[in-house]
Amino acid sequence: MFSSSSIAAINRQTGVAQGRHLVAIAAQVADHASLLSQIRADAQVVILDAEQDGIAQLTAAIQTSNTAIRSLHLISHGAPGQLSIGNTLLDRYSLTHYSQQISAWQEFFAVDIDVLIYGCEVAQGAIGQAFIQQIQQLTQANIAASKTPTGNPRQGGDPQLEYRLGTLTTALINFEYYPGILPAFGGGNSQQLWLKANAGVTQGGGAVTAWADQSGNNQNGTGTGAVTLNLNAINGNAALDFAGGYVELPAGFADFTGGLSAFVVAKPDTSSNFARFFDFSDTTDPNNVTNAVFFSRRDAGNDLAYGTVGQPNQFLVANTTTNDVINNGEFKIYGVVQQANNPVNFWANGELSGNGFIDKPTNVQRTANFIGKASNFDRNYEGQIAEILIYNDDLDAAERNKVETYLAIKYGTTLINADYTSTAGNVVFDTDGANSLYANDIFGIGQDTLSTLNQTQSRSSNDDSIVTLSNASDLDDNEFLLIGNDDGDASAAGVSNNTPAAYPERLSRLWQVAETGEVGTVEISFDLTGLGYNLTDVKDFALLVDTDTDFSNASVFTNGRKINGDVVTFSGINFAAGDLFTLATDAQTNSATDTLNRFVANSFLNFEHWVSRVAIKTGVVYQSSLVDFNIQIGGLRVAPLFDEAAYLHANPDVAVAVQQGRLRYGFEHFVLYGMDEGRGPGRWFDQDYYLEQNADVAAAVKNGTVRSAIAHFFTFGHREQRNPNAVFDAEDYLLNNPDVKGAIAAGAIDSAFEHYAEFGIEEGRQSGFLFDEAFYLEKNPDVAAAVQAGKIALGMYHFFAIGQSEGRNPSELFDQSAYLGRYGDVAAAVAAGDLVSGFEHYLMYGRAEGRVPV
């Protein structure tokens, strides 16, 4: 990196009088001094300071030229539709902001000026070409830009600018003697593979057909079998979902004599024996594996494994040994580094997790290279993979930390006992220094052009996260705003000390801000689901910001506050580095009546009801080109069984996709992705109960034969008269409704549950002997009134959503108070929050244990 004074000196030395050719080089371009000898002698060279507005610097250089400029060369790091200029990330959005300034350059341009843009893949694809076309419209110049990696041919780059608008006459700069390519990230030129699900993915027939390498080495993958794209898998970013399929890469990956470093962002679904993240070898014969290197799970446990094979079938494996490194169903950043002298270290979310010692991979051309598939008979990987980076070098601690920081910020994953460091070497979150007391659930926004990071909205992927950060007004390159917390109880409300007089309570948890640069104002949201606050009046909430933990004199912000469901949001907040914040309230927690009102206001019974309510209020009927409203799966219509509001509350990633317009309904997500991912469609399906009661299904889900419990119920289970929860009893339903039994025998309907969902609910038929609708309404007049008013279709919905946790009884056959009084172990579990109610215990365990319900 150059200082401002050294940059100014270079500019003065090369600013010759002719000024007809202008070359602007971003200071972030490593070793750019090697390019100076390849630039024509009569050119003016400007090094753009990475800490200042790049367009302003370029404008100043253009305006001070002594004669009309004949050619303008821009050399910087790029990506499709993006170019880093100083601290400015130039893309189609920021071009609009700079349009007047850029258009004014025409005054200083010669007729038929050539503008040449050197940056990896800036003109790649429709987005890249639209970006170049925008520049051409603003400058009226002949334009050339690269569709491929730009740089040294020996490193997979080339000096050609393949996409052109107009006829250019200016000679290109020779990159033969430049040592790298643009971009180079992490280990610089040692990067061998860079696959990420938010770039270079091609689909056909609903499956992934290609996955383009972003490293510049053209190791572009081909999808085979069940590999699909999940557009919003984690923190608003995509992942590939492997369900028995794999991605095959071309020949390569020969020389790892300098070591190997690999990073994989993955969420495994199953624990298959040695399921591979990647496997590179030189044979397609699974009986005779040679010259292989792989990164995988160890056996069928929860340890990582890294292996090499030299002689046929002589597997050498290093692995972690704690059996808790991999967590199925959870995204983590898994890493392995083998040093040049053979030691192997494993990392999970930035934490050293184990080590070993095996021979390095042999130095041969590998021709059987796979993502998600083994070179021997081990089963294919099942789960999601968001990103893979592989280097033929043993990255040192600083290089590794930069890669892990990029991945952690992008995917909302917290690094453990590790600082966050940008590619420029700046510590952006100091976990053992200024931010050490708040190094939990770290997440944030940031822009780092060298790593292509442009994360504009974020929420920690940890389960107890409740804060979302978004909509920065002035986020530029090398700027970050990260947030961590003190690990206070996220669900603890009612802290009444050290708060401003107007707000007698605040959340227990405190958050701290770490800001690098100035990102402008931001939007901050709190998801208060389950905290019990009355969310009817937004004036009851305020954001408290202070520099210490005594919030009695905190700054109180109410800027742009709004409530959407259970989420309270504040906009236009300008944080400073080191600020602490929390949420204050004057709202009271809900009484039973308030809880009922809130349930009625914010919940809908099913998707049909939800669509009807929307149509009544707004006139907008169901609109989707992706999923038919009356779609059936396994003979069951999905709409009567899907709760839109509950699904969006339970799946904030889907809610974000709907909010951003990538999906119109959560209903679409469930049908296309959610069912296979095991996401519940509503309160009526109890996955834990279903798997516990159906051991064959649990085994099938575990081994991957069946994708999820809910998928099994829709496809097979209801027809087999299996029960979706502990309350609906198919056998009892058929016994008490012989007409339904006859309809099934005649083939008119498929199952007891289908009849109940389509007709039985409206007809008032009971779903089982443990819940009595008439009894419940008689004993609970508030619920009866809501049902009579048409706000709730059945008292049963109220009981399972709210009533059981309030101690209400479902029928004469079960007495919650008596049950908890008789069984102290159950009462303790309910008090600790391990169970919702005594009734839940009885359904799940007590009935089988012979406990008395009344």
Q: In the predicted model, is pLDDT for residue 588 greater than 80?
A: no
Measure CA 644 to chain center. 21
Q: Which of 3-17, 681-695, 837-851 has the lowest mean pLDDT?
A: 3-17
Specify the higher pLDDT residue, 813 or 572: 572
- The band of 267, judged by pLDDT with boundaries at 50, 70 and 90, is very high
Structure tokens at 414: 């917290």
Please, what is the average pLDDT of the chain? 86
| pLDDT of res. 3 | 38
pLDDT digits (tens, 9 = 90+) for 415-460: 999 999 998 789 999 998 999 999 999 999 999 877 889 999 999 9
- Amino acid identity, residue 520? G
| pLDDT for res 175 | 76
How many beta carbons lie within 10 A of that of residue 51, not counting itself? 16
Report pLDDT for 6: 37
Torsion of CA 447, 197, 675, 442, to 10 degrees: -30
Between 127 and 413, where is the model more confident? Answer: 413
Q: Using DSSP, how many helices (H) and how many strands (E) does the chain show?
A: 25, 45
Q: What number is the average pLDDT over the span 45-50?
A: 86
Closest CA to 346 of 410, 407, 409, 298: 298
**743 pLDDT exceeds 60?**
yes
Query: What pLDDT is stored for residue 489 in this prediction?
Result: 75
DSSP string, 67-97: S-EEEEEEE--EETTEEEEBTEEESHHHHHH
pLDDT by residue (tens digit) across 633-658?
Answer: 999 999 888 888 778 777 878 877 88
pLDDT the model gives residue 187: 47
Report the alpha-carbon distance of residue 410 to residue 52 in Å, rounded. 24
| Least confident residue range of 20-34, 454-468, 469-483, 493-507 | 493-507
Predicted local confidence at residue 304, as pLDDT: 98
Whole-number Å distance between alpha carbons of 712 and 705: 10
Sheet holding 142-145, edge to edge: 43-48, 21-26, 69-75, 109-118, 142-145, 163-165
Give the lowest-confidence range in 187-191, 282-286, 791-795, 802-806.
187-191
DSSP character at residue 16 = -
137 and 102 in contact (C-beta within 8 Å)?
no
At 65 the pLDDT is 66
H helix or E strand, kind and range, residue 409: helix 397-411
pLDDT classification of 467: cutoffs 50, 70, 90: very high
Task: Give the model's pLDDT for residue 13.
Answer: 37
Asked if 440 and 374 count as a contact pair (C-beta separation under 8 A), the reply is no
Rounded to an integer, the average pLDDT of 466-487 is 94
pLDDT tier for residue 768 given thresholds of 50, 70 and 90 = low
Give all domains of the chain, ordered by start, each with its CATH number: 4-182 (3.40.50), 188-407 (2.60.120.200), 419-589 (no CATH), 771-854 (no CATH)
Q: 0.75 cut: is pTM over it?
A: no
Task: Name which residue leads in pLDDT, 486 or 13.
Answer: 486
pLDDT at position 184: 47
Name 462's bridge partners: none
**Residue the block writes with tokens 């992490």:** 186
